[in-house]
Homo-oligomer: A and B are copies of this chain.
Amino acid sequence: MIIIMKLGASKQNIDNVLGIIRTNGLEPHLSDGKEVTIIGVIGDKTRLMNQNLEIVDGVERIVSVTESYKLANKKFHPEKTVVKVGNTSIGGDEFTIMSGPCAVESEKQVLETAQAIKKCGAQILRGGAYKPRTSPYSFQGLEEDGLRLMKAAREATGLAIVCEVTSLAAIGTAVKYVDMLQIGARNMQNFYLLKEAGKTGLPVLLKRGLSATIDEWLNAAEYIMSEGNQNVVLCERGIRTFETATRNTLDISAIPVIRTKSHLPVIVDPSHATGVRDYVAPLAKCAVAAGADGLMIETHPCPEKALSDGPQSLTFAQFDTLCNELRPYIALSGKKF
């Protein structure tokens, strides 16, 4: 931690800050300049956590030197994490493609989709049973019935399944059916839900919040991991900016940034990032080129009739074409598919 003193801070101000630091069992390092005085604090800064040095007389600002997340931090865990999900794993040699409808609607829809995506090589079936929708009057999901249909599709195809959970009750139900829990963008800082998901021990797909910084996202992962569950996969799905040509702005730079800061696998969801079917294919290629570990892509037997997010869903034919187009990019990235 670095404390930057105000221009003209008095000797008494400086001595007071040095005193607070020493009282808390830490060692201050004073750099006393003509214009400005800097105090470096070495040691366990959590000891100063509740000292609110920002408002002590003579202090201009505090600069944090170390990240608050530890378990998700590459500095302390340099080796890349591989997360096992059903019979497949994410973050290793294999490139992972998750696909399926935004919302589970019927047995026929889910089963057809599972079979179609399996034929293309996808390893994980996605499908929402608990849908967070902007308006209370939109379709809210089939809940446990939806989970049941997902499990049936898994039994029929051998695909692993991932479903979003939005409450403790949904987690309690989902653990009976799914291979992986998904925490959606709107719940990325629902810390209560993160801890409960962590306690299940199941792998968790953690989507980035619409306005979450990468540091906040890794701190959200830390909530799950601090419950003893290291099986976290991050998913970049677009952030909110002023640009309206796409529903959100895919922050593709997040992939190399995460690689630098964390050992956790990271995948990309180009369907939610753009909200436009025609942009899914070019952005899926981008994600591979940027070094992502996988993709999440929405598909539907008949996007025109989808109860949620139809405009961004691919048909099976489009998905098949895309998977074939992705293969050489995946090979270039050093992964198998």
Contact = CB atoms under 8 A, between A and B. Distances in A.
Contact of A239 (B243, B252, B305): B243
Contacts of A40: 2, 29, 31, 33, 38, 40
A156 interface: no
Nearest to A57: B304
Contact of A29 (B4, B38, B329): B38
A146 interface: no
Given A33-B42, A191-B132, A243 B214 contact: yes
A64 B277 CA distance: 20
Identical chains bound together, number: 4
Interface stretch (A82-90, A93-101, A118-126, A253-261): A253-261
Interface residues of A, number: 104
A253 B283 contact: yes
A18 interface: no
Contacts of A242: 211, 213, 239-242
A55 to B, nearest CB: 5
A35 B66 contact: yes
B50 A307 contact: yes
Given A190-B186, A243-B239, A68 B214 contact: no
Interface of A: 2, 4, 7, 29-36, 38, 40, 42-43, 46, 49-52, 54-56, 63, 65-66, 68-69, 75, 130, 132-139, 166-170, 186-187, 189-193, 195, 209-211, 213-216, 219, 222-223, 226, 239-246, 249-257, 260-261, 273-274, 277-279, 282-283, 285-286, 288-291, 303-307, 310-311, 328-329, 332
Given A46-B137, A286-B290, 15 more contacts: A2-B40, A33-B42, A52-B303, A52-B305, A55-B311, A63-B63, A68-B135, A130-B192, A136-B191, A211-B240, A241-B249, A245-B261, A250-B253, A283-B290, A328-B332
